[in-house]
Amino acid sequence: MVEAQLLSKNQQIVLDIIENAKAPLKAYSILFNVQKKGINAPQQIYRALDKLIEIGKIHKIESKNAFVACKNANCEVSKATAFSICERCEKVEELNDLKLSKYLSSYSDKTGMKYKKYNLEFFGLCKKCK
Amino acid sequence: MVEAQLLSKNQQIVLDIIENAKAPLKAYSILFNVQKKGINAPQQIYRALDKLIEIGKIHKIESKNAFVACKNANCEVSKATAFSICERCEKVEELNDLKLSKYLSSYSDKTGMKYKKYNLEFFGLCKKCK
DNA sequence: TAACAGTTTGTTATAATATAACATATGCAA
DNA sequence: TTGCATATGTTATATTATAACAAACTGTTA
Ligand SMILES: [Zn+2]
Ligand SMILES: [Zn+2]
Ligand SMILES: [Zn+2]
Ligand SMILES: [Zn+2]
């Protein structure tokens, strides 16, 4: 059993906002949302984001410069992330497909290079948008 | 036979620089490299980059905000990209693995969502760095 | 030829995203 | 209580990307 990580005040504030959001949040949109809580500078947000990413509580959607909460217990370990992104409504879901992650985690290319980490972003139209 | 796309002056300048680079280039580093050629503003770079991406001549490495030339004839059609990235020396290679691209191109998640496009970035240590 | 549409270019300004650097505070263990 | 690691607050700045508008160039066709 892994000990639950204790979060600092700012880390908890930022995580709460991301977890309660319906869509990926951008750093500055988080900042604007916490100014009433006394956080005033981008650094404070980015530091919390960095830590939350490091411990696997959130992920960055690289193609959008936005952040989502992880809903997948084993991401802390694997550093393997996969997302589906709707190109119309921008809805993002973290994929949690064991077969896919096994396939990619064991992937090594022709040079024999082995990977410790990957990020996959799929684009298409979600059920509602197609 | 697909007609070769004719590039405009700025598009060709930017493509030449990216094709001759040993590593992914950032937009502003391209800009600094073409000021002797009379290109002075970021817009001119970003416009060329956008076009080159659209026609499949280059790709953006999202995790690095950098651009590489495509060495893969069928990327223009597929919009399916996969890269290996060395975490130490930053070397980036475009993967051209038919099995991988078939697997991902036919992937549909549990909701039945079908994808038109994907981007995959693998991280590890290259041969020289490990 | 002249009018036109489409695309490319040039230019200035500004928005959005992210980090540097330094001072202070807080929690905890030796 | 001293020391160390971590977290915070703050100001400034760097980096990445887009907006908005005017002018030039291209090929097409009335
Ligand atoms: Zn996750
Ligand atoms: Zn949608
Ligand atoms: Zn390619
Ligand atoms: Zn390397």
Higher pLDDT, A5 or A62: A62
| Strand C nucleotides in reach of protein CB atoms, 7 A cut-off | 7-13, 16-21
The answer to whether strand C lies under 7 Å from the CB of residue B73 is no
Mean pLDDT of B24-41: 96
Residues of chain B found within 8 Å of residue A118, distances taken between Cβ atoms: 120-123
Do both B60 and B20 map to the same domain? yes
Give A111's pLDDT tier (boundaries 50, 70, 90). confident
What band does B2 get if pLDDT is binned at 50, 70 and 90? Answer: very low
- Asked if B57 and B86 sit in the same domain, the reply is no
- Kindly state whether residue A3 falls inside one of the protein's structural domains: no
Same domain as B58, residue B13: yes
pLDDT of residue B1: 34
Predicted local confidence at residue A100, as pLDDT: 94
pLDDT in tens, B15-24: 999 999 999 9
Cβ atoms A18, A49 nearer than 8 A:
no
Share above pLDDT 90 across residues of chain B, in percent, rounded to a whole number: 75
Q: Give yes or no: residues A65 and A33 share one domain.
A: yes
- Alpha helix segments (H runs only) across chain A: 9-20, 27-33, 42-54, 75-78, 98-105
Residues 34-73 of B with CB under 8 A from A: 62-63
Q: Does A35 contact strand D, using a CB cutoff of 7 Å?
A: no
Determine the pLDDT at residue A130.
80
Domain extent for A51: 9-69
Assess whether A20 and A63 both reside in one domain.
Answer: yes
Query: Within a domain: residue B31?
Result: yes
Q: Does any CB of chain B come closer than 8 Å to the CB of residue A125?
A: yes
